[in-house]
């Protein structure tokens, strides 16, 4: 069965520190997609990235980077030089045939607080 | 710009009331979803719809029903609200096809007294 584990419930960092949010997933499917979403205090989830299971290249977008490792079933998210505006709840999600390929299965989220 | 709107940001209802949560998207998306979000549990799928008048149960459909009479609108109905349905409700939409990202509305925080 599918599973997405975000073991870090809450993280606090001081502004300008780097921080990594962990995501470990389980699925029986060989084709699947992984996602990251950000939920700021306003409440609306904002899509950050989608990565398919056949593309293990790391991705960088500004201060954000993602490390996908199939060998450890992990899709970790790093924020470099964190800023107060990065404070939010971050969700990792999985889409696979066993979840219903139109559907997303979410982890429980990690609340990141960036202290000025 | 992609837009999903929900009828209310905050709602307070009494036990036993019938509650309607409305969601509208302007992106011509085929798929629409209703989730509830609770602390420590993340987002859990209640119902989803692939097309007008079509609906599928998600992981926690008990106590809820849905309606999709028009492509852009997806309603969540609590037939008889109970206190354990106090939660944040999030609507989302996506294009048809597999593995697409979903776009979310701002959420409705429902309190049932």
What is the pLDDT, as a whole number, of residue A59?
Answer: 87
Measure in Å the smallest separation between the Cα of B80 and chain A Cα atoms.
Answer: 26
Residue A32 and residue B99: Cβ atoms within 8 Å? yes
Query: Which residues have a Cβ under 8 Å from the Cβ of A5 and sit 6 or more positions away?
Result: A23, A24, A25, A26, A107
Q: What is the dihedral of CA B39, B44, B46, B49, to 10 degrees?
A: 140
Residue B98 is encoded by which pair of tokens?
Answer: 């597999």
Q: Which residue has the higher pLDDT, B66 or A58?
A: B66
Render each residue's pLDDT in chain B as its tens digit; 113 residues: 669 999 999 999 999 999 999 999 999 999 999 999 999 899 999 999 999 989 999 999 999 999 999 999 999 999 999 999 999 999 999 998 888 899 999 999 999 99
The whole-number pLDDT of residue B1 equals 66
Of all residues in chain A, the one with the smallest CA distance to B46 is A103
pLDDT, tens only, A60-84: 899 999 999 999 999 999 999 999 9
pLDDT at B35: 97
Provide the shortest C-alpha distance from residue A57 to chain B (in Å): 19
Of residues A43, A47, A106, nearest to B103 (C-beta): A47
User: Is A108's Cβ below 8 Å from some Cβ in B?
Assistant: yes
Q: How confident is the model at residue A42 (pLDDT cuts 50, 70, 90)?
A: confident
């Amino acid at each position: 069965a599918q599973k997405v584990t975000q073991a870090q419930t809450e993280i606090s960092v001081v502004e300008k520190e780097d921080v990594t949010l962990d995501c470990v997933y389980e699925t029986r499917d060989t084709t699947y997609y992984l996602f990251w979403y950000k939920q700021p205090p306003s409440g609306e989830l904002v899509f950050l990235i989608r990565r398919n299971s056949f593309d293990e290249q790391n991705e960088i977008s500004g201060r954000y980077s993602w490390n996908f490792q199939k060998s450890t079933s992990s899709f970790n998210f790093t924020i470099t030089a964190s800023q107060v505006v990065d404070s939010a709840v971050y969700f990792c999600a999985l889409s696979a045939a066993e979840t219903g390929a139109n559907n997303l299965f979410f982890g429980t989220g990690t609340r990141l607080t960036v202290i000025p | 710009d992609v837009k999903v709107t929900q009828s209310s940001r905050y709602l307070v209802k009494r036990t036993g009331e019938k509650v309607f949560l409305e969601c509208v998207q302007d992106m011509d998306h085929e798929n629409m979803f209703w989730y509830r979000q609770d602390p420590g549990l993340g987002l859990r799928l209640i119902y989803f719809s692939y097309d007008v008048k079509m609906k599928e149960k998600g992981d926690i459909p008990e106590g809820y029903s849905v309606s999709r009479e028009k492509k852009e609108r997806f309603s969540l109905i609590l037939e008889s609200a109970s206190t354990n349905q106090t939660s944040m409700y999030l609507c989302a939409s996506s294009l048809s096809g597999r593995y697409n990202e979903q776009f979310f509305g701002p959420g409705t925080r429902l309190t049932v007294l």
